[in-house]
Structure 1
Amino acid sequence: MDIPQDILNKFIVRKDYLDWINNEPSIFAYLDLTNMFHWQDVLGWKFRIKDVIRQLFTFPNIKEVKVYYGLNPRNQRDSEAFLNRIKKTGANLRPNPPKEMKFIKKDIDEALFFQRRTMTLFDRQIKSKIYELIDELKKSGIIIVEPKCNFDVEMTMDMLDDVEKITAIMLFSGDSDMQAPLERLRVKGKKIGIVGVRDMVAGELHRIKDKYIDFGKFYTGKRTYIESENPAFGGTA
C-alpha cells in the first residue's frame, strides 16, 4: 500500500522544514541535478529525482519546480529517456532544448580517490602505497574523464526573471557560484532556502540562507537503488 505523500511529509520531514515552506505563499524550487547526484556518495543511498519532484508538488505553495540537467551525447538514448521522465513529472526542464554535456579530463592524483581531510588520517606507509598506485596509473596512460554541464548562468537568469512571482526559493545546490544571484534576491526581499547535504554546501550559501534544509531529513521517496540513475555515469532509463 502506498502511503499518501502528505502523511509522509507530516511524519518524516522535520517540522521546522514544513513550517518554513508552509509560511511562504509562493516558492519556486530550482534543482541542479549535476550537483545533486554527487550527494548520493555522501548520503550512502540513492534517491529518485521523480520522487523528489513529486514530493515538492504536494506543497500547494511550491508553485513551480525547475530542473537543470544536460544531454549525454555518449549515451543519448538513455539520456533522452531520463529527461523525458523528468518532463512527465510536471517539472520545467531547463534549459530547453537541453545543453550537451562536455567530458573533461581529470588529473590523476590523490584527490581522485580521497578527500583532503581523509588523506590526513593515513600514516606514511599507507600514503606511500597510494602514491605508488597513482604513479602506476599515470604510467599506464589511462585517461579519466568526467561529464560536465554547468547551469549557473541559466539558473541565475531564471531566478531573476521569476523574482516578481515568488516570495521564496528552494535551491537544491551547494555551489558557491550561486551566491551573487541569491544576494540579488535577498535585496528584493525574497527568502532563501538552501537544500543540501553535509560538507557539500559552500560557506557562502550558508551565510546568505534564511533556512537550511538537510536533504536526507526532507526526502521521503525510495532509497533502494543500487546504482545511480544518472545517465552520465551509465545509469539506465
Structure 2
Amino acid sequence: MNNPPRIAVFIDASNLWEAQKTKGRFFDFEKLRAFIRTTYTAQSIEVFYYTAYPANGTRDYSLDGKHKFFTYLSKALGFIIRKKQLKRITVQTDMGAVIQEKGNMDVEMAIDILHHLNTYDIAVLFSGDSDFLALVSYLRNRGKKVYIYSSKNNISEELRTGADGYTDVLKIKEDIWRGEIIRQSQNAA
C-alpha cells in the first residue's frame, strides 16, 4: 500500500489576485488548503505564500489590514510567508517622470521549490507564469508530480500543458471563496 503523498503548495499572490478580481470574491485560504489536502489525499501539506506589498506612505489607505492578513496566514494557518516591499523605480516618459512599482517573487518561489525538493512528492503551483516551465520540467524529471492552478486569463499555454495537470481556479466546484471584494480593496493581494 502506498503512503499518501506529501504536498507543497506555492502561491503567487499576484497571480491569484487577478483570479480573485475576476471572481469578485476573496479566496478563503483555510478552505483552499483543505481542498488541496482532499484533492490529493495528502499525508502532509506545507503552504508557501509569496507577495510584495507597498511601502508605508505610498498609499492613501492603511496597510495594517494587509499585515494582519500575513499574520493570520502565518499564525492561524501555518503558512510560510515570503514577502518583500515593492521596489519603486522612476522611469522617464514623454510625459515626465513616472514611478513604477515592481514586486516579482518568482526567484524566491523557485528557490523554495528547489530547497524543499526532498520534503514533498507533489508540488502545487498557484501561478500561470511561463517562466516556471523550466522548473516544472526539472521537477518532473526528478519524479515529482506538478499541478498548476491559475485562471484562464493568467495561464500561459506552455505552463498549462507542461505540468501533470492544470486547474482553472474559477471553475473549482468546491466552496473555496469568502466575502466579496469591495472597491477600495482592489489594490490588495
Fold shared per TM-score above 0.5:
yes
| Structure 1: 4+ residue segments shifted above 6 A | 105-108
- The Cα RMSD (Å) is 3.3
Which has the higher Rg, Structure 1 or Structure 2? 1
Q: Return the structure number with greater helix share.
A: 1
Q: Are the structure 2 counterparts of residues 216 and 147 from structure 1 closer, same or farther at C-alpha, using a change threshold of 3 Å? A: same
Does the 8 Å CA contact 2:51/2:103 hold for their aligned counterparts?
yes
Instruction: State which of 14, 24, 31 in structure 1 corresponds to 2:11.
Output: 31
Does the 8 Å CA contact 2:26/2:181 hold for their aligned counterparts?
yes
Instruction: State which of 9, 22, 31 in structure 2 corresponds to 1:42.
Output: 22
1:220 equivalenced with 2:175 (yes/no): yes
Deviation at 1:104, TM superposition (A): 5.7
TM-score by structure 2 length? 0.76
Look up the match of 2:85.
100
Q: Return the structure number with greater strand share.
A: 2
Q: Gaps spanning 5+ residues in structure 1: where?
A: 1-22, 109-137
Deviation at 1:77, TM superposition (A): 2.5
Q: Gaps spanning 5+ residues in structure 2: where?
A: 57-61
Q: How does 1:1-237 map to 2 (within 5 A)?
A: 25-56=5-36, 60-74=42-56, 75-87=62-74, 88-94=76-82, 98-103=83-88, 147-218=101-172, 220-227=175-182, 233=187
Write the deviation string for residues 128-165 of structure 1: whole angstroms up to 9, x where unpaired: xxxxxxxxxx97x896x665311111111111112222
Does the 8 Å CA contact 1:46/1:227 hold for their aligned counterparts?
no
Q: Are the structure 2 counterparts of residues 101 and 197 from structure 1 closer, same or farther at C-alpha, using a change threshold of 3 Å? A: same
Write the deviation string for residues 84-139 of structure 1: whole angstroms up to 9, x where unpaired: 12112111112xxx31112467999xxxxxxxxxxxxxxxxxxxxxxxxxxxxx97
Deviation at 1:79, TM superposition (A): 2.8
